[in-house]
Amino acid sequence: MVVAVKKMKLQSLDQLGEWESEVSFFGSLSHPNLIKLLGFCSENVKKTRELLLVYEFTPNGSLADHLFTSLFMKNPATEPLSWNLRLKIAIGAARGMAFLHMSQVIHKAFIPSNILLDGNYNAKISGFGLAREGPTEGHSPGTTRVIGTNGYAAPEYIATGRLYVKSDVYCFGVVLLEMMTGLRAIDIKRPDRQKYLVDWLKPILTNTEGPKDIMDVRMKGQYSSEAMSRAAQITSRCLEQDPSSRPSMDEVSQALEQIESIKERPQ
């Protein structure tokens, strides 16, 4: 049996808290689109405390490995994902996030590197070190420090440090935009007005012809105009400034499933 082992040397109380959070949430939650925690261990080695987590192995790496691989790289393990595979991954991730929110858990770190892919490219959400028990709709448990403002964090979280399940929905929207474009949420190598993907491309999502111009060229000819338009619409809704205007993750999952069912021929 092949497994994946995450090994950390304890250097701060925050790190210990994140390890304990992963053990706690993985121990109490189970879903086909959440990574399985198979075991954990804490031991002292040469006066240093080591923390271990043992997960199921995901041979296809992470979504980030595939989205952001150079166009010129030939490593078959990181070949560009097709439109159908991206949609499959997005649906699986949406189902996993919907389950978390139903269980009153806010993930807080939903990014491509935390979406792992098994041998059949099923999404497996990982990275629960920052997860928190979530509030009911319209309430927030608050937080003591703002983490993860690297292009994925929702505006209300950056402004107030307070989290909602809809803050995760915003993160999901950023990832959807990355999946559509093949571009990173932040890239300092891009021109100033294009460094932040959401600021740059969100206004284009709802334009009649806009989405076509921002789609990842590696998916050319793989999707229909209707599928592209609907994907842009649900992405835009996830990225609304007002949390109450964003859909629930269950609604996102259903919208993506409807896109998958579209039979129109690719353009």
The C-alpha atoms of residue 113 and residue 59 are separated, in whole angstroms, by 14
Each domain of the chain, given as residue ranges in start order, spans 60-260
The C-alpha atoms of residue 156 and residue 107 are separated, in whole angstroms, by 16
Across 151-176, average pLDDT: 93
Please give, one letter per residue, the 3-state secondary structure of 184-235.
CCECCCCCHHHCEHHHHHHHHHCCCCHHHHHCCHHHCCCCCHHHHHHHHHHH
Residue 249 — φ and ψ, nearest 5°? -70, -25
Is pLDDT at 180 greater than 60 in this prediction? Answer: yes
Instruction: Report the amino acid identity of residue 56.
Output: E
Architecture of domain 60-260 in CATH? Orthogonal Bundle (1.10)
The C-alpha atoms of residue 231 and residue 83 are separated, in whole angstroms, by 11
pTM, two decimals, is: 0.87
Query: Mean pLDDT in the chain?
Result: 85
Dump pLDDT digits (tens) for 72-96. 445 554 678 999 999 999 999 999 9
